Amino acid sequence: MIIADLVIRSGKVVSSDSVIAASVAIKDGLVIAVGDDSAMPQATETLDARGLHVLPGAIDVHVHFRDPGYPHKEDFASGTAAAAFGGVTTVFDMPNTIPPTGTPDALAAKHRIAAEKAHVDFGLYGLLGEDTIEHVPEMAKSVIGFKLYMGNTFGKIPTPSTGGMLEAFEVVAPTGKRVSLHAETNSIMERRETRMRQAGRIDPLAHIASRPAVVAVEAVSRAATLAEWTGARIHILHISSAEELRPLREAKARGVEITGETCPHYVLLSIEDYARFAGVIRVNPPVREARNQQPIWNALADGTIDVIATDHAPHSPEEKTRNDIWTVDCGFPGVETQMPLMLTEVNAGRFNISDYVRWSAANPAKIWGLYPRKGVIAPGAEADIAIVDLIREWTIDDAKLQSLSKITPFHRRRVKGMPIHTLVRGRFVMKDRTLLPGTRGWGRPVHAIQNLPAPHLRNIDQTMKMIVRVGETVRPRESVA
Ligand code: NCD
Ligand code: ZN
């Protein structure tokens, strides 16, 4: 007779297409049964989930945990504790650390740090820049995907030329890994920022004036062209404008392997909030005019945008409150507030809770090859679960955040919906709003469970043959350059 480790009893179990009243049995970290409570096996432990919703833990594909490099902003322990409080059971960490995660050594070092400190599961991005192309084949073995910065942002990562980007896509495409793009075109922003500074502008709105939506439109269009040419899979991070939806839609319609993401701040905040939050709201891409919000919501609803992530980007209060906007560090924490903010919209009737699970868990798992092991509560899946009280009303208080960075533009916002318990592979890491001792180091890397088929390679063969012919003993990027 099977004895489960845990049965979560009589909650409402949510998937991307249904909500059912059911119990969930867990053994050895896996879900072994979902169904009527009377059908559950005996269990060592039970949790009464009556009145609560049982969701697949969110997979936040865009966080900056600053480790190694900026221990005063965040590290893997504080960042993943914040994730656990936010109902987030897997995070994908960005490479703009010190050193950047752009070599096999830096990647191995970050893997060691994360394995030692993480409370939740993690994937690591490898940095894709002109200087790191040669490392792609080796890094591909232990990254969840690659990150390419088309525009400058925190950490001063150099922006590759279009030629460098094409070559980078050519080299990544055969690995099947996805390239996540910070899609803002640097040369446009640089010129405009220079003009603003020359004119003496140092106010918060100068930031948005230097990054009009055309920077994203141009970048998304160009990235889609290169992805179409090479067959590389790409993901457009943090979509902030109505305008960039057009090139994204068009690329999807042509069959480009492209996906999109937005973040809570682009649909819940607007230019009106700059007066109140000043530098705190400075983020790349910028929070824009309110007219962008509804088109982005619509794009989520119609599948143009696939994913909600957070761009969790912690900085210290001092770094966020400087007077000269150009000296304020960009970004703010979000991994902990995303789920309550979105559940508030569920409660307001903007979309249903299955839609939310599709954007926060199921789609991320599918896009990065983790589904159905993650992203769903079903027999055989890993028991990554957020148990939420959907009707609990509370006020976000920066001072109470787990993140080391206790400064966000969501401070004092009323929300309805709270993660009460978070399980990662069957183990409570957060229970009754308390981080459980002994869970540091419980997080495991997820790249190993990817099982993506090789992508359809379009013009790669031809280019690769050319590379081989030009320099038999030379590495690809040198032979092409
Ligand atoms: C991010 C950061 O601080 O690392 N900042 C931001 O404004 N989004 C970098 C990034 O994601 O572009
Ligand atoms: Zn980011």
3-state secondary structure of 408: coil
Q: What is the token pair recorded at 80?
A: 């993943």
pLDDT over 70 at 266, yes or no: yes
pLDDT band at residue 467 under the 50/70/90 scheme: very low
Specify whether the CB–CB gap between 327 and 75 falls below 8 A: no
Is residue 14 domain-shared with residue 63, that is, in the same domain?
no
pLDDT surpasses 50 at 464: no
182 lines ligand 1 (CB under 6 A): yes
Instruction: Please identify, by atom number, the ligand 1 atom nearest to the C-alpha of residue 66.
Output: 4
> Distance between CA 263 and CA 305 in Å, rounded?
11
The β-bridge relationship of strands 414-424 and 385-395 is antiparallel
Residues 253 and 236 in one domain: yes
What CATH number does the domain containing 433 carry? Answer: 2.30.40.10
Question: Alpha-carbon distance 384 to 182, whole Å?
Answer: 28
Q: Is the pLDDT of residue 41 over 90?
A: yes
Containing structural domain, residue 115: 57-367
Q: How high does pLDDT run on average in the chain?
A: 94
Which atom of ligand 1 lies at the shortest distance from residue 62's CA?
11
Q: What is the mean pLDDT of residues 27-45?
A: 96
Q: Residue 244 sits in a domain of what CATH number?
A: 3.20.20.140
Look at residue 405 and tell me if it is in a domain: no
The answer to the question of residue 442 being in a domain is yes
- Cα(46) to ligand 2 centroid in Å equals 39
| pLDDT band for position 454 (cuts 50, 70, 90) | low
> Is the pLDDT reported for residue 462 higher than 80?
no
The answer to whether residues 144 and 129 belong to one domain is yes
- pLDDT of res. 448: 76
| Ligand 1 pocket, residue 154 CB under 6 Å | yes
466 has a pLDDT exceeding 80: no
Mean pLDDT, to the nearest integer, of 466-477? Answer: 35
Q: Same structural domain for residues 120 and 138?
A: yes
Report if residue 401 sits inside a domain. no
At residue 473, does pLDDT exceed 60?
Answer: no
450 pLDDT tier (thresholds 50, 70, 90): confident
Q: How far apart, in whole angstroms, are the C-alpha atoms of residue 399 and residue 376?
A: 33
Query: How far apart are alpha carbons 132 and 106 in whole angstroms?
Result: 12
127 CB within 6 A, ligand 1: no
Q: Is the pLDDT of residue 431 over 70?
A: yes
Tell whether 328 and 451 lie within a shared domain: no
The domain tally of the chain equals: 2
Q: Over the stretch 90-131, which tens digit does the pLDDT of each residue have? A: 999 999 999 999 999 999 999 999 999 999 999 999 999 999
Do 79 and 220 have their domain in common? yes
Does residue 107 contact residue 139 with C-beta atoms inside 8 Å? yes
Please indicate whether residue 274, judged by its CB atom, sits closer than 6 Å to ligand 1.
no
Strands 258-262 and 233-236: parallel
Q: pLDDT class for 453, splitting at 50, 70, 90?
A: low
E strand or H helix at 44, and its extent? strand 42-48
> Residue written as tokens 């919501």?
297
Residue 375 counted as domain residue: no
320 and 201: one domain? yes
Instruction: List, in sequence order, every residue forming a beta bridge with 55; answer none if it has no partner.
Output: 386
- Is 154 a member of any domain? yes
310-330 residue pLDDT tens: 999 999 999 999 999 999 999
